[in-house]
Amino acid sequence: MQPVDLTTLRAICAELRKGWLPARLEQVYQRDRATISLALRTLKGRDWLTLSWHPQAARICLDDAPPRTPDTFTFSDQLRHQLQGLALTAMPLISPWERVINFQFAPRPDDPPLWHLYAEIMGKYSNIILTDANQQIITAAHQVSAEKSSLRPIQTGHIYEPPPPLTGSIPNVKEYQETWQEKVSLIPTQLKQQLLKTYRGLGPNLVKAMIQRADLNPQQTADTLTQENWNTLFQIWQEWLHILESEQFQPGWTENGFTVLGWGMIEPVSSIQTIIKDYYTEQLNQQVFKQLHHQLFQKVSNLIKKQTQKQETFQQRLKQSDEAEIYRQRGDLLMAYSYQWEPGMDAIELPDFETGDLIRIPLNPEKNAIQNAQSYYKRHQKLKRARTAVEPLLGETNQEINYLQQVEAALKQLKDYQQGEDLQTLKEIQEELIEQGYIIPQRERSTSQATQPITYYSPHGYEVLVGRNNRQNDQLTFRLATDYDLWFHAQEIPGSHVLLRLPAGAIPDEKDLQFVANVAAYHSRGRESQQVPVIYTKPKYVYKPKGAKPGMVIYDRETVIWGTP
């Protein structure tokens, strides 16, 4: 993940100062454990400024409004109490070469600041710290005790001290090339590492972009450069410093991330705020998606394994209960031929009532024929009762397995993150599993807007909707479908509900039906097969049994068609 380096931070601040100073702080909201949002209002409008101390995604940018869920964090409550209603009057960096912004708040724009909100954007050491006018720390997003850091503890009541300055030289646009070249080439190590060690304000991405812009290799050593190489690299160095000095930034997307210098840009963007918001939203969504998908898939796989073991146990018990009639038959034979029993016998052979074949019956030598028969009758009754009890349990277990396999199929279709809706779909699956009691909720459910089904179009332009999870499956089948539509599903295979939307009187031809069958086959557990049987019917012939779980249905009057995933 590309970090916000000093150059990017200066570009962000330069853009914010032009449009958001002064501004009135109307609201403070903490989005999560590492992100707060400040609602700022100027004469031109209102927007939300996000400050994040996330270890991999520390940043500052204008962002979307936060969700309408209660804010229960103590840190935001303290900021709200001290800052709400005040004016944001300035946001200087504490030093041109340090990634720390001093947001200053006062009653009115011309008044001296009463409060300082320091945003330290320094990777895993990032923090947000509120101090009063005397630099006494009032609260901090991440408090650091003396045991954790004897160099710079951060605790309420302490005097705020800036982070220790870096040891490198400060870049200067007036520095001569000879001096600069001598510093960089002093040790013949990799050019990239030598630049990073020699000067402040540089980041790995910036140095790599400089070296590539000079048509050099970041891994080559400084002693391999020709004088022409040094001249080109110094010109690029000067170009960077002039951009910083003039604040003429050029934000845009690059092949692997973003830039604020215009170097390697493949698509320009009008605002650096848009780039920072979109980039980190996408990157964090990918992280959350990957973690949540792994958790849910592991959970569902373990549940299926557990239910399959139960299924095997119940099937074994039913198999044993099939022997009930054998025990009854043995009891009947012993009762009919009890006169042939002799004391001490541990087995007896008696003719079958129907075939006359001899049947060997084990006996308890300590019991007579009648007592042995009664024992067989008791075992017969016990196995019959077991069947009565086990059969409904096996049916419930089979339903559980079918439902979980349906969820598993939905998760397999969501294997890779492509867009924001993929994460929301995954969260809907998580909420569904919470509702069904498979997962214990750890926090309040999301109130974000529900995702939409996947949409395709048949060869003749009819809309085809595919449920992305069981909640959407039910929505498609029982709320959205009309009498004119056709409902598709892989036959006896977990998969998505697929709806072919048809206007009144329209009759799809074979190409349309085959296309939708292929879609239904692809969005099923049979995706890896060459062909999958798919059924289709009218939505009115699809029913949900009483008490059935989401996405589980029965149907009739179906037609079978083979789909090719």
Q: Of 140, 163, 192, which marks where a domain is finished?
A: 140
Is position 290 within any domain? Answer: no
What 3-state DSSP class applies to 126? coil
- How do residues 490-506 score in pLDDT, each as one tens digit? 998 999 999 999 987 78
Q: Of 85, 111, 140, which marks where a domain is finished?
A: 140
Is position 376 within any domain? Answer: no
Number of domains present in the structure of the chain: 3
What 3-state DSSP class applies to 62? strand
Of 519, 528, 531, nearest in space to 562 by CA = 531
The two tokens of residue 170 are 């400060």
Q: Domain check: are 12 and 136 in the same one?
A: yes
Q: Domain check: are 136 and 185 in the same one?
A: no
Kindly list the strands in the beta sheet with 252-253, ordered across the sheet, starting from the edge strand earlier in the chain: 258-259, 252-253, 267-268
- Please state, in angstroms and rounded to a whole number, the distance separating the CA atoms of residues 441 and 435: 9
How many C-beta neighbours within 10 Å does residue 517 have?
25
The domain containing residue 199 runs over which residues?
A: 177-270
Distances (CA, A) of 6 to 31, 93, 100, 206, 481: 25, 10, 9, 10, 54
Q: Domain check: are 126 and 186 in the same one?
A: no
The full DSSP string for 423-453 is HHHHHHHHHHHHHTTSS---SPPP-SPPP--
Is position 102 within any domain? Answer: yes
Q: Domain check: are 132 and 207 in the same one?
A: no
Q: Which residues of 256-292 are buried (b: 16+ CB within 10 A; e: fewer)?
A: eebbbbebbbeeebeebbebbbebbbeebbbbebeeb
Is position 145 within any domain? Answer: no
Q: Domain check: are 122 and 213 in the same one?
A: no
What 3-state DSSP class applies to 377? helix
pLDDT of residue 176: 94
- Please state, in angstroms and rounded to a whole number, the distance separating the CA atoms of residues 22 and 20: 6
- Please state, in angstroms and rounded to a whole number, the distance separating the CA atoms of residues 75 and 117: 12
Across 204-353, the runs of DSSP E, i.e. the strands, are: 252-253, 258-259, 267-268, 347-351
Q: Domain check: are 204 and 116 in the same one?
A: no
Q: Domain check: are 121 and 183 in the same one?
A: no
Is position 14 within any domain? Answer: yes
Is position 448 within any domain? Answer: no
Q: Domain check: are 13 and 131 in the same one?
A: yes
The identity of residue 409, as a single letter, is: A
- How do residues 277-318 score in pLDDT, each as one tens digit? 999 999 999 999 999 999 999 999 999 999 999 899 888 888
CATH code at position 91: 2.30.310.10
CATH code at position 259: 1.10.8
Q: Domain check: are 105 and 218 in the same one?
A: no
Tell me what percent of the chain is helix, strand and coil, each rounded to the nearest 5. Answer: 40, 20, 40
8 A C-beta contact, residue 245 and residue 239? no
Q: Domain check: are 47 and 133 in the same one?
A: yes
Q: Domain check: are 111 and 204 in the same one?
A: no
Print pLDDT tens along the chain (565 aa).
999 999 999 999 999 999 999 999 999 999 999 999 999 999 999 999 999 999 999 999 999 999 888 888 999 999 999 999 999 999 999 998 999 999 999 999 999 999 999 999 999 999 999 999 999 999 999 988 888 887 889 999 999 999 988 888 999 999 999 999 999 988 888 899 999 999 999 999 999 999 999 999 888 888 899 999 999 999 999 999 999 999 999 999 999 899 999 999 999 999 999 999 999 999 999 999 999 999 999 999 999 999 999 899 888 888 877 777 788 888 899 999 889 999 999 999 999 888 889 999 999 999 999 999 999 888 888 877 777 878 888 888 999 999 999 999 999 988 888 888 899 999 999 999 998 888 877 654 444 566 789 999 999 889 999 999 998 999 999 999 988 899 999 998 999 999 999 987 788 999 999 999 999 999 999 999 999 999 999 999 999 988 888 889 999 999 999 999 9
Is position 429 within any domain? Answer: no
Q: Of 233, 248, 270, which marks where a domain is finished?
A: 270
Q: Domain check: are 53 and 136 in the same one?
A: yes
Is position 276 within any domain? Answer: no
> In the beta sheet, which residues pair with residue 38?
28, 49
